[in-house]
Amino acid sequence: MSALPRGSTRSGANIRVTGLVKRFRSGGGTIVGADQIDLTVPAGATVAVTGPSGSGKSTLLHLIGAIERADEGRIEVDDIEVTGLSGRRLARYRSGIGFVFQRFHLLPALSALDNVLAPLLPIRTGFDKVERARGLLAEVGLGDRERAQPGQLSGGQQQRVAIARALVGQPRLLLADEPTGNLDSATGDEIMNLLWRLRDEHGMTLLMATHEASLADRCERTVRIHDGRIV
């Protein structure tokens, strides 16, 4: 594993976004989810993306993670021009991004271990996949719950499984979309502490959408968006 000394925050991916536009068709009209966004995030930084519901936080994360495709503009992550990728290169880029969602998005019929393992199944690795998945479950404090299914776990435990899954591909960039939005505040604090620790230990850039000021305050920088624009 590419573990770095604790406290090292100068690893991870550089992000450069320029003139990013995303439009959605809705009914007869068009909604602009991202409106000429320019954003630079240096390697290892932790940046909060804040704004009211519907302002475009998820859209921005989805575009950077290549879950959705931009209509205009450029996204560069390290030396990769994400907006120009397709096919296998796009799949490889996606497999190198960690994504944590508000609603966990675990597969309910699979065990915790198999959920963490799932992203590795389609790809060839030079390491033992099961050992990697086990190691990550242990890192998030669930080494004794490998066989549990999501329905047998609390919300906080499910989010820990989802975080282990996000890290299994050794991402240099972790995108977290309201990762504590479905959790009570004490559990949310535990999840935030875990994300911070893993960011340092694994050397990642962390971009986090949140509308909670207390979470944004922990980040080095806050980017506010409104109606798809940075304000």
Ligand X SMILES: Nc1ncnc2c1ncn2[C@@H]1O[C@H](COP(=O)(O)OP(=O)(O)O)[C@@H](O)[C@H]1O
> Among 223, 195, 193, which Cα is nearest to 210's?
223
CB of 225 to ligand X, least distance (A): 7
Given Mg ion, ligand X, none, residue 202, with its beta carbon under 5 to 8 Å by kind, binds none
Q: Which is nearer to ligand X, 69 or 147 (CB)?
A: 69
Assess 180 for contact with Mg ion (CB under 5 A). no
Residues in the chain: 231
> Among 204, 203, 116, which Cα is nearest to 153's?
116
Stretch that binds Mg ion, among 56-64, 93-101, 116-124, 168-176 (CB under 5 A): 56-64
- In 3-state terms the chain splits into helix, strand, coil percentages (rounded to 5) of 35, 25, 40
Among 9, 58, 158, 210, binds Mg ion (CB under 5 A): 58
Q: From CA 162, how far away is CA 133, in angstroms rounded?
A: 12
Assess 55 for contact with Mg ion (CB under 5 A). no
CB of 63 to Mg ion, least distance (A): 13
Joined tokens for residue 186: 């004490």
Q: Which is nearer to ligand X, 33 or 188 (CB)?
A: 33
Q: What are phi and psi of 88, to 5 degrees?
A: -70, -30
Q: Which is nearer to Mg ion, 9 or 58 (CB)?
A: 58
Q: Which is nearer to ligand X, 37 or 106 (CB)?
A: 37
Given ligand X, Mg ion, none, residue 59, with its beta carbon under 5 to 8 Å by kind, binds ligand X
The H-assigned helical ranges of 34-154 are 57-64, 87-95, 112-117, 129-139
Q: From CA 80, how far away is CA 101, in angstroms rounded?
A: 24
Stretch that binds ligand X, among 23-31, 78-86, 180-188, 195-203 (CB under 6 A): 23-31
Among 6, 7, 26, 29, binds ligand X (CB under 6 A): 26
Whether 224 and 48 have beta carbons less than 8 Å apart is answered as no
Q: Which residues bind ligand X (CB under 6 A)?
A: 24, 26, 31, 33, 51, 53-59
